[in-house]
Chains A and B, each alone.
Chain A
Amino acid sequence: MAEKKTLGQEFSKGLIKENPVLRLVLGTCPTLAVSTSIENAIGMGVAATIVLICSNIVISALRKVIPNKVRIPCYIVVIAAFVTIVQLFVKAFAPSLDASLGIYLPLIVVNCIILGRAEGFANKNGVLASAIDGVGMGVGFTIALTLMAAIREFFGSGNLTLKVLGYGTTLTDIFHLGETDVLTAIGLEPILIFILAPGGFFTFGLLMACANKVAESKGKPKAELKGCEACPMAATCAMKADGKECAE
């Protein structure tokens, strides 16, 4: 860390300036996969945030104990343990969320945001700072995910599920439309492809372009796949040593 940040800054950087999805380009798989409805996006975001906070705290607390050589396997075990705990609780208290997230819930284990923050932040910083970093990054992830989901769901199905864990309402319910959707009601048709896989890529590209535009107006560089720098495996990666292209 070149400069010492206050705790407030540690939190707020994750929201916009270092937004994990739109600026650091981490966690792209879940971002694309579960952003088909706001309900799923929020569920995924909250689950990942909890794992991120817990693993950041534990890894930061153990950072002086864990031998450098085996740190990556140790981080993975810690992260996998928290993911399973979250999964068990979700199964017990929100079974419908478990069903709709499917394999993407256990796949939080390999979400690069979490391993990336363990390797890039928690193992160099104190417990409190790491916890705050986890909250900020987690919230930033959730915001980006929800934004993606809002665009895809609205254009793709003409509806918005404004729900958390099954509580809340939907856009069609607000307007009392029954089984028709909002877009059909105003004489348009939902653009189905937004919900399908290509729409995920397209919406992500669109948001990325917007993020670049905003970044530029603030004089910041464009978001790029940082490749070796951002990649949590960088230290062990032979590509870097060989000087071959990684993600350039």
Chain B
Amino acid sequence: MKNMNAKDILVPTISLLVICLVATALLALVNNITKDKIAEQVAISEAAARVQVLPDAKEFEEVDMDGDKVTDYYEGIDANGETVGYVFNTIGEAKGYGGDVAVTVGIDTDGIITGIVPGDISNETPGLGQNAGKASWQAQFVGESGDLTVVKSDKAAQENTSDGKINALTSATITSKAVTGSVNVALDMFEEIGGEN
């Protein structure tokens, strides 16, 4: 009886343990194979975003900084070795539907936005907030400067790209505000560092 009990407890415990160990070992192996590839993919998509928002720059140099809302930023340098602008990766205070919305913002040396790309917007509402990924909406930001506000269904604001107004995405004001908030963080950061150059 006693023997039975010990066996009853030991066999299931050991088999579960063995399965866990094998699974962990397997995962460690796969992680090793894919780790570099994943890091590479992240680097590629970040680099692509930088080129997209600041097309004039040929090279990007990361600038050392500590920041809460600005996760990191880069100085964009053109073929002649001159600084043509900055690229900021920012997270604004206003949240989208699915939490923070990170945005990559390109700003030229005059403080004018050259392009924006929202990061991960997969948690925003499909068909509404996720339209923030569309180039046609992002284009409104180009040419703006200073401090941006979100307005609703204002066709003029959509077309006028230097009025400081961003026309919200249809039925997705929250996402629009989250993106714009992150862009404003970048504009503020530009003001802060602007004096140094």
Contacts and interface: CB of A to CB of B under 8 A. Distances in A.
Q: Do chains A and B touch in the complex (CB under 8 A)?
A: yes
Interface of A: 36-37, 62, 65-67, 69-70, 73-74, 77-78, 80-81, 84-85, 88-89, 91-93, 95, 99-102, 156-157, 179, 192, 195-196
Contacts of A195: 125-128
A192 B15 contact: no
Contacts of B123: 102
Interface of B: 8, 11-13, 15-16, 19-20, 23, 26-27, 30-31, 34, 37-38, 41-42, 45, 98, 120, 122-123, 125-128, 134, 136, 171
Contact of A102 (B8, B122, B125): B122
Given A77-B20, A91-B38, A91-B41, A66 B122 contact: no
Given A36-B126, A84-B30, A102-B122, 9 more contacts: A67-B11, A67-B12, A69-B8, A69-B12, A70-B12, A74-B15, A101-B122, A195-B128, A196-B128
Contact of B23 (A69, A77, A93): A77
B16 to A, nearest CB: 5
B42 A192 contact: no
Given A69-B12, A92-B38, A99 B122 contact: yes
B19 to A, nearest CB: 5
A163 to B, nearest CB: 15
A88 B41 contact: no
Nearest to A86: B30
Contacts of A84: 27, 30
Contacts of B98: 102
Nearest to A68: B12
B122 A100 contact: yes
Given A88-B31, A192-B171, A78 B19 contact: yes
A91 B15 contact: no
A179 B136 contact: yes
A155 to B, nearest CB: 11
A50 to B, nearest CB: 13
A179 B170 CA distance: 14
Nearest to A40: B126
A211 to B, nearest CB: 25
Chain A to chain B: the 6 pairs with minimum beta-carbon distance, closest first: A195-B127, A81-B23, A92-B37, A36-B126, A92-B34, A70-B12
A78 B34 CA distance: 20
B26 A81 contact: yes
B106 to A, nearest CB: 21
Contacts of B8: 69
Contacts of B125: 195-196
A77 B16 contact: yes
A56 to B, nearest CB: 16
Contact of B34 (A37, A66, A91): A91
A95 B126 contact: no
Contacts of B128: 192, 195-196
Nearest to A70: B12
